[in-house]
Each structure stands twice: as C-alpha cells, then as structure tokens.
Copies of this chain bind each other. A is one copy, B any other.
C-alpha cells in the first residue's frame, strides 16, 4: 500500500501544471450557464484540446493521452488547483464517451469523439422525463422504426447544457408494452437543431438556463446514431450511469481546491474560532474523499469494477459540497447574500447535488440494500 505516484504520473502532473500555469485565464470566465459564458467555455475546450489536455484519459487517436485513472486524478488535482474553468463538455466526456467506448461502433467513435474532444460539438444529456424523475425506467418518449432510422417523439426535461448545446443523447421506448419497464428501450444520439426539436431553456434557481425541456416531434435519427442494439438501451445506459455515479463524476481535485480556498477565506476574514471546526471538517472531507477515490481507483486499476459503493461516493460529495459552501457563506456574513460573489455560483450549484444523478434518498436505499443487505422493497 502506498500513496506515492509513480515517476511517470509525477512527470505527467508536472507537465499539466506547467501548461495550466501558462494557459488558465487570469480572470474567471463568465458562467458557463449563460450564452456568453458557454461560448467562452467552448473556446477554452478548444484551447485544452489544441495541446491534448481536454480528454487526457482517452486513447491518443481520439485526442487523448491514454492516461490511466491515477494520471487522470493527478490531472484533475492540478486542473482545479490552477483555478481552471468548469468543463462545458462534461456530459459528453463523462457520460456519452464511456458508453461509446464500451458499446459504440468504431465508426461512431471516429465520428463522434474527436469533435467532442475539441469542443466543437457540445453534448446535452436527455435522461429525465416529466413523469420519471428518480424512476428512470418509466420513460415514455418513443422511438418508432422508420426507413433507415427512427422517429423520436415525446418530451425530455432537466436536460443539462441543452439551452446552448449541439447534440443530445438519451433513452427512448422502442418496444412498448413489454412486461418490465426496463425492457424495450433504445439508446440514441440526436441533433438539437434537427427538424422537430424544440428546446425550451429552464432557469435554475439563480435564473441561469442550466437545463432545458426538449419537445420532440418525429425527429429523424439515422440508424448510425443508435448505440448498442435497439431495445438494449437500459443495459447500455446503466454502464453510463454506473460511471456517472462512480469515480469520475466529481474529481477529488475539485474539492481539495475548494477546501484550500475555504481555508484561505477563513484566514483572510480573521480566523473566526467559532468556524474553525467547520473549516477543519472541509479540509478533512476533501482529503477523505481523495483517499476514498484513490482506493477505488486502485481497485479499478487492479481490475475490479465500481459497484454500489459509488452510492457512498455520491452521497458524500454532494453533502460535503453544500456544507463547504455554506461554511464559506457564513464566513462572508451579510456579504453572503450577494449572488455575484465568487462563492455564490458554487453554492447554488452545490444545492442540486443531493437531487441529481440519483437522489440521495435512493442512494441511501441502495447503500442499505446492496452494501448492508437490509431487506429491499419497503421505502
């Protein structure tokens, strides 16, 4: 057991650090949930990609560096420590790309991944529907077979990034009436500017259009944009969801950097002893999360898969993130009311953590049932 990165990882880390020091914008970009900020973040993705820093864990042919998970973690630590911008491409990189690597065709990977890596095509996810929030299997949007492809109809919601994104991916019911709701779903990619698509941006609590409703009316999707076999969408998607909830949804580097910023804020606001314990807890939590992730990554590197313990990960970071930001707001005192302060957007963002990617209630059910073996079914 050791916590020392190998020389190759440290060299990689050093290279990343140097590049970031030279390239990270000195002033924060405008919020990526605004039109202006979206464009600025897209440009930043291109800048990352130009020097092959946008998708370090992908194979080289697709624009990556073939970094293993330890190097990816090291990159993320440097990335957030440098105060680099949020990743407007994260839906594509973290959710769609792993699915394509596992279930896509060679042609799909060659066509879809490079423009994703360069920020030319930004992806939105299209999982939820108005009547199926936590209960994803109850999806009702349809994919109807047509000549050379499928016609998508129905409504999706909480489609993050969709207000300004280019394309989207999601599940559609292609064989209705099967005995279990998980059956008969198909995983498809579609163009947000195709005929029949209406995008209605939804403002989140701070008014920024962080997601959208999608109205689909016989939107044509060619067969080449089906991932995996038709009807097998649930199985295909679950590998993505496992990934989403696992090690890569929130990298430890993000929280290590936030905790350091919090400690600096505490220092610069007079080291209020009444808040010291909470600052300590933020530092502890970031370190614990880093170590928990390292342990998972080590198991992963040793060939294990990430299972229900990803629910532990999800509950931890989502509650940690809120506590950290609320501590920062408390240090700001009455100033915390300002919605334009540097901590404000992070706080609003953190509030969604316990809700999305599987509510924490559901995650705790999973922890209790799958990790502790408590009886299933009653909630």
Contacts and interface: CB of A to CB of B under 8 A. Distances in A.
A333 to B, nearest CB: 14
Nearest to A272: B273
Contacts of A277: 274
Interface string A275-317: 0110000000000000000000000000000000000000000
A378 interface: yes
Interface in A347-379: 378-379
Contacts of A276: 274
Which among A273, A378, A379 has the highest number of chain B CB atoms within 10 Å?
A: A273
Contacts of A273: 272-274
A378 B272 CA distance: 46
Interface residues of A, number: 7
Interface string A234-277: 00000000000000000000000000000000000000111011
Contact of A379 (B272, B274, B378): B378
A274 B271 CA distance: 11
Nearest to A277: B274
Nearest to A379: B378
Which among A272, A273, A274, A379 has the highest number of chain B CB atoms within 10 Å?
A: A274
A274 B277 CA distance: 7
Given A274-B274, A378-B379, 6 more contacts: A272-B273, A273-B273, A273-B274, A274-B276, A274-B277, A378-B378
6 contacts: A273-B273, A273-B274, A274-B274, A274-B276, A378-B378, A378-B379
Contacts of A378: 378-379
A272 B273 CA distance: 9
A273 B273 CA distance: 6
Interface string A159-186: 0000000000000000000000000000
Contacts of A272: 273
A326 to B, nearest CB: 14
Interface string A138-161: 000000000000000000000000
A160 B68 CA distance: 62
A379 B379 CA distance: 6
Interface in A320-338: none
Nearest to A280: B274
Nearest to A273: B273
Contacts of A379: 378
A277 B272 CA distance: 12
A274 to B, nearest CB: 5
Q: Which 4 pairs show the lowest CB-CB distances between chains A and B?
A: A273-B273, A273-B274, A274-B277, A274-B276
A186 B154 CA distance: 62
A379 B378 CA distance: 7
A274 B266 CA distance: 14
A323 to B, nearest CB: 15
A272 B274 CA distance: 9
A210 B25 CA distance: 67
Contacts of A274: 273-274, 276-277
A272 B276 CA distance: 12
A313 B362 CA distance: 30
A37 B379 CA distance: 46
A28 B16 CA distance: 68
A274 B276 CA distance: 7
A149 B147 CA distance: 88
Interface in A56-112: none
A378 B379 CA distance: 7
A271 to B, nearest CB: 11
